[in-house]
Amino acid sequence: MLLRRNGKILLGKRRGSHGEGDWALPGGHLEFQEELEACVRREVQEETNLAVTNIHVGAITNDIFEHEERHYVTIFMVCDYAGGDLKTMEPHKCEEWRWFGWDELPRPLFLPCENLLKTDFAPFAS
């Protein structure tokens, strides 16, 4: 999820799974019969302790992790900060969360984020 606040987006440093050490957006898998907007609210709350608003589809990428032999279609949902205190709720999955400007993203980035940067997507245009 591209979680926006004061002209920045939230990224976390992954740990304990593929992409360990990469910076990535909050997110995860849809639960059975879960709506996209409900997934955004749940995942952001579970991972960061934050509430969100203004949820909508932003972009889609086709992400092939060659070394792990995994293939994902990533739906980037865009949302805005609505409240809460930022916390690392799943320290076994994420080392830390930080806010970054779109033009000052850290490296290395998780593959779906790298693929998103190759498109014309602009997170603050909508």
pLDDT score for 126: 59
Q: Would you give the DSSP letter of residue 5?
A: E
Domains of the chain from N-terminus onward? 2-117 (3.90.79.10)
Give per-residue pLDDT as tens, 43-100: 999 999 999 999 999 999 999 999 889 999 999 999 999 999 999 999 999 999 999 9
pTM of the model: 0.95
What pLDDT score does 18 carry?
A: 81
State the pLDDT at residue 26.
98
Cα separations in angstroms, 85 against 23, 50, 89: 20, 6, 11
> Mean pLDDT over residues 13-19, rounded?
88
Residue-level pLDDT at 125: 82
